Amino acid sequence: MVDKIHLRRRAVFEPEDDPPIRPDHDYDVDSVKCQLTLDVCAIPYFTLTLFRFHARMILAEHHAASFAPWHRFLASEKRVAAKTLDAYGRDVRQFLAFLDTRLDARIEKLAAADIRAFMAARRAEGVTGRTLMRQLAAIRSFLRFHEREGRVDASALALVQGPKLSRGLPKPIAAAAAKKLADPDMRGGEEREPWILARDAAAIALMYGCGLRISEALGIKAEDAPKGEVDVIRVTGKGGKTRMVPVIPAVRRAVEDYVAQCPYALAAGTPLFRGAKGGPLSPRILQLAMERLRGTLGLPATATPHALRHSFATHLLARGGDLRSIQELLGHASLSTTQIYTEVDAARLLDAFDAAHPRARRAG
């Protein structure tokens, strides 16, 4: 049995105007100008399906055309970091692809329900709250750009709240274990060339001894290597911001040991840390090295390369480090970001109290 539908629809295609594709509205496509009047009763279901397919194609082309100007604006005028540009671009493409499946949604006048529906769909796919927060920020940037250009109405954004984030405390590695992680002898049983073990140890020493992100450690150029009399390094962090970080003697020795053993010429302008074939070292190699060290030392899965940065801040604070100085060393834009380490230190003091004080309420 053929499904039938009673449909009366009038559609006007105008290149200079782009209304939505809805049963009771006009709609258009670029470079096409014609008038179509559809007054059909009892049309087959597959005809309606074909109509919807073409409508989605029209909508997809229109949405794709709105992406490029915004993306160029982020890259050339806002000059956002390359990783942020990639992430925001991916997020907005996913959002536009989602809108393509909803014939009653268009960017010119989005409803708050359209944005909430996208976030609910992403949550159902297992996306974390932090990723959803970033995707909402990308959508805000995209819509507000077009609102400033006079193309869209972004008022729906005011009705959309971001997801609630569970703020877990950083999990630092114990100081004794962190020191062992930077010891190449801890991996002496592995069948790897000594220079590779020295390389991994030097990178780990930099992340723990200087509080660097993995991307910051691997971004150091050969001419900036902390060796000899060089006791400070220039680090390029998020957003291309640079900061100066002091280097302690133990970290300098680890870097000098690696440089002395590296079989490749470390010319100016080239990466300090090299892969087995001489190219830039991949972050994944260091992550795998940390996984092997975790097994050797019996550390939890939270002992990752980024945990070394948490350990740097927590251990400095426990030794009386000034919070503002730690903020500058880590490259945090806001002091509130650094303050989370005070909560870590307080939690550790409470654990020590519960374990040692005779009047503490111990579980069990």
CA-nearest of 296, 75, 105 to 184 is: 296
In this structure, the number of other CB atoms found within 10 A of the CB of residue 101 comes to: 12
Does the residue 164 lie in any domain? Answer: no
In the residue annotation, 309 being an active-site residue is answered as yes
**Token couple for 186:** 């801890």
CB-based contact 335:327 (threshold 8 Å): yes
How many C-beta atoms surround the C-beta of residue 286 within 10 A? Answer: 21
Q: In whole angstroms, how large is the CA radius of gyration of the chain?
A: 28
Residue 242 has pLDDT above 60, yes or no: yes
The verdict on 329 and 206 lying in the same domain is yes
Condensed to tens digits (0 to 9), the pLDDT of residues 292-335 reads: 999 999 999 999 999 999 999 888 888 888 888 888 889 888 88
**Catalytic option among 62, 146, 309, 310:** 309
Q: Please check whether residues 213 and 327 belong to one and the same domain.
A: yes
> pLDDT tens for residues 47-73?
545 444 444 554 555 556 778 888 888
303 contact partners, CB below 8 Å, separation of at least 6: 173, 177, 181, 290, 293, 294, 297
Task: Tell whether 350 and 208 lie within a shared domain.
Answer: yes
What is the arithmetic mean of pLDDT over 85-111? 82
Catalytic residue among 213, 227, 274, 310: 213
| Contact by Cβ (8 Å): 247, 233 | yes
- Cβ-Cβ contacts under 8 Å for 131 (sequence gap 6 or more): 122
Residues 179 and 148 in one domain: no
Mean pLDDT value across the chain: 78
Span 7-28, pLDDT tens digits: 333 333 333 344 444 444 444 4
Active-site annotation holds for 238: yes
- The catalytically annotated residue of 25, 102, 292, 306 is 306
Give the count of domains, the chain.
2
Domain that holds residue 78: 4-159
d(CA 225, CA 232): 9
| Euclidean distance between CA atoms 124 and 236, whole angstroms | 36
Let me know if 6 is a catalytic residue.
no
Q: Domain for residue 165, yes or no? A: no
Catalytically annotated residue among 238, 243, 292, 348: 238
- Count other Cβ atoms within 10 Å, centred on residue 24: 7
**312 within domain boundaries:** yes
Is residue 186 domain-shared with residue 118, that is, in the same domain? no
Q: What is the CATH number of the domain that holds 248?
A: 1.10.443.10
CB 196 within 8 A of CB 288: no
- Confidence at 364, pLDDT banded by 50, 70, 90: very low
Q: Stretch 220-240: mean pLDDT, rounded?
A: 88
Could you tell me the pLDDT band of residue 38, with boundaries at 50, 70 and 90? Answer: very low
Q: Which residues are CB-contacts of 317 (< 8 A; sequence separation ≥ 6)?
A: 323, 326, 341, 342, 344, 345
If asked whether residues 153 and 190 sit together in one domain, one would say: no
Helix (H, G, I), strand (E, B) or coil at 326: helix
Q: With respect to residue 194, please indicate whether it lies within any of the assigned structural domains.
A: yes
Same domain for 136 and 260, yes or no, is: no
Paired with 38 in beta bridges are: 9
* Active-site residue, 72 included: no
3-state secondary structure of 279: coil
